[in-house]
Amino acid sequence: MVSPGKPSPRSAVKPLSDEQVARLARKHKLVNPMHNHPTGPRRDNVDEINAQNPKATQRLLDACAWVVRSRCKPKAWGLENVPEEGVFITACTHVTLFDVFIPMAAMFYQGRRPRYMAKAEMASWPIIGKWFQLVGMQPVPRRKGEALAIENESIRILTSGRPLTIWPEGTLTRDPQKWPMSLKPGMAYIALEACRKLGREIPIFPAATWGAASINHWWPWPRKNVVMGYGSAIEYSDLLADMDSWGSAPPKEAVTELTRRVRVRLEEIEAEIRGEEPPAEGYWDYRTMKRVPRN
């Protein structure tokens, strides 16, 4: 089954201007995330690299970076937040398919090899589907009643020491103005339950990518600006204060609140990149296909 609603067309948004990128550059150190160690020298996680088809991964990574560079002018800030070792979660926006390739490649060029959740249909795509599986895709069957199995596998990945990248909206945003829409609660459940099993807080980093929504993929020239903001870790230690007494699952209230905090941070970063305020009426709710108040 297809997801309800359709992503809005390229005409719904303006390209990210050179003037706005210049304003961002005055506040942040913008780097090209499609090159090795974009933030400067750092230590690669060799164990992760060697455990994940290093030759195939490098070929796919270089091919992906070439395609991205040929179709847009990618920039990023905050990638120094990516830990050199240890488990963490990256929660990404999902405006276009670039929101998959840019954070994935950026993590790889920073010397990490996170597993990442992606819709199961991608695994059957010709050629590229096999590549995705080689480099750590965790297929997510949608509308198949397999949510618990997916969550358990994601928790296993985190508790085994591997980082995880998630697009918590679950599909391309249906917001007509392409702001982050309501998030699925699975990401927060996975994070909280993995924290309980590990006995500590797992860093969650928000990553918002903006600028690719106006790219014409048949004729992408002149290349447009695409910027990713990789934020600092979201604070949620207060939600873990009584995790030893949760029972069989994290409390629904904690899952809801962590989901809200992640959505708010993604919206804030995208607003900064765009240089715009998000709609005052609220955020787009995927279930009702309309805006709902932020409170």
| Whole-number percent of the chain with pLDDT over 70 | 87
CATH code, domain with 204: 3.40.1130
Domain assignment present for residue 122? The answer is yes
Domain assignment present for residue 11? The answer is no
| Whole-number percent of the chain with pLDDT over 90 | 70
Peptide bond connecting 114 to the previous residue in cis, omega within 30 degrees of 0: no
Domain assignment present for residue 247? The answer is yes
Residue pair 191/118 in contact by the 8 Å Cβ criterion: no
Is residue 253 very low, low, confident or very high in pLDDT (cuts 50, 70, 90)? very high
Range(s) of the domain holding residue 281: 19-292
Question: Could you read off the pLDDT of 52-67 as tens digits, one per residue?
Answer: 889 888 888 898 899 9
Which of residues 12 and 240 earns the better pLDDT score? Answer: 240
Residue pair 91/205 in contact by the 8 Å Cβ criterion: yes
Domain assignment present for residue 231? The answer is yes
Domain assignment present for residue 86? The answer is yes
Torsion of CA 254, 259, 263, 269, to 10 degrees: 70
Domain assignment present for residue 6? The answer is no
Placement of tokens 């014409």 in the chain: 216
Is residue 1 very low, low, confident or very high in pLDDT (cuts 50, 70, 90)? very low
Question: Could you read off the pLDDT of 148-179 as tens digits, one per residue?
Answer: 777 888 999 999 999 999 999 988 999 999 99
Specify the pLDDT at position 52.
Answer: 85
Residue pair 262/113 in contact by the 8 Å Cβ criterion: no
For the ranges 156-165, 215-224, 269-278, which has the lowest average pLDDT? Answer: 215-224
Give the count of domains, the chain: 1
For the ranges 83-92, 133-142, 210-219, 286-295, which has the lowest average pLDDT? Answer: 133-142
Checking if the pLDDT of 278 tops 80, the result is: yes
Question: Could you read off the pLDDT of 7-23 as tens digits, one per residue?
Answer: 877 666 889 999 999 99
Domain assignment present for residue 4? The answer is no
User: Where are the alpha helices (H) located in the chain, listed in sequence order?
Assistant: 18-27, 46-50, 54-71, 98-109, 128-134, 147-159, 186-198, 252-274
Domain assignment present for residue 120? The answer is yes
Residue pair 197/155 in contact by the 8 Å Cβ criterion: yes
Average pLDDT in the chain: 90
